[in-house]
Amino acid sequence: MVAAASDGAVQGNLLLLGLPAADAERLAAHAHRVRLDRMATLMTPGSPINSVYFPESGALSEFVLMADGSAVEVGFIGREGMAGWPALFGSRVSGLWVVCQTGGVFLQFATTDLAAEVDRNPELHRRLHCHAAAVIGQRAISAACDRHHDVVARAARHLLAARDLGLDDELVVTHEFLALRLGVQRPTVTVALAELERLGAITHGRGHVTVADRACLERIACECYWTTRREIGRHLDWLPAPLGAWFSDANGVT
């Protein structure tokens, strides 16, 4: 179901990577590999969490919906994570709007099937609990970031994270999505992207951002890019060495 390709590139979802063969086979029997289009809604606030999703490619976003109808992005899920993990702790309904930000391939499980596997499989149980801890850690970092770092540094952080967690150098990122992620108005996003382009880090057009100079983008991004990357990595301690080392890479942290 998930494996390292011969060229070293890892395919599949990192939470399920390298499980013992018997466990992987049993999981595969319950999994449905589905292709989701951009903007497909998987969960809404108050909806039952009947299925959970593990991105193999593409990415999901989690939003809090406000009373005035606006939305604020609070989570971004790539191959390092899953959508619907609160159901494994007994939550029956979603508190968030979960939408496919970038189309791709996802493993879908009926929540009851995955919960039964978690009960019988201590390693899967540990991994998914680690993931929940990583999500809580990321939320804390983001809360601090939103209060302390300017919008250009935060935009750089989020573009790097999008690049790392499922998207290519040519990112499909609309101004609207970036505004929801940063919690700012679209004109502010326009100004931030123009500044990143002026500095040589990106080029951008309508609905697309291209990472022109990753090292430059890393220099501009706030420390939270690195803190978050390490927070994710320390909860993925089963990864093979090259991948694990990438997550714990301290470059850029001073």
- Catalog residues that contact Zn ion under the rule CB under 5 A: 145, 149, 222, 224
- Max CA-CA distance within the chain? 54
Closer to Zn ion by Cβ: residue 201 or 222: 222
> Which residue, 42 or 192, has its beta carbon nearer to Zn ion?
192
**By C-beta, is 17 or 222 nearer to Zn ion?**
222
Pairing of strands 170-171, 202-205: unpaired
- Name the 3-class secondary structure at 229: helix
Two tokens, residue 183: 């919690």
Shortest Å, Cβ 150 to Zn ion: 9
Query: Residue 23 or residue 223: which is nearer to Zn ion going by CB?
Result: 223
Q: What's phi and psi for 153, nearest 5 deg?
A: -65, -40
Tokens for 74, please give them: 């609070």
Q: How far is the CB of 251 from Zn ion (least distance, A)?
A: 16
Structural contact between residues 252 and 226, judged by C-beta atoms closer than 8 angstroms: yes
CB 204 within 8 A of CB 192: no
C-alpha 30/C-alpha 93 separation (Å) is 21
Q: How far is the CB of 144 from Zn ion (least distance, A)?
A: 7
* 81 contacts 131 by C-beta, under 8 angstroms: yes
223 and 141 Cβ atoms separated by less than 8 Å? no
Q: For Zn ion, which is the closer residue by CB, 26 or 149?
A: 149
DSSP state letter for 12? S
CB of 123 to Zn ion, least distance (A): 33
CB of 156 to Zn ion, least distance (A): 10
Minimum CB–partner distance for residue 226 and Zn ion (Å): 10
Between 24 and 224, CB nearer to Zn ion: 224
Instruction: State the burial class of residue 137 (Cβ atoms within 10 Å of its Cβ: 0-12, 13-18, 19+).
Output: middle
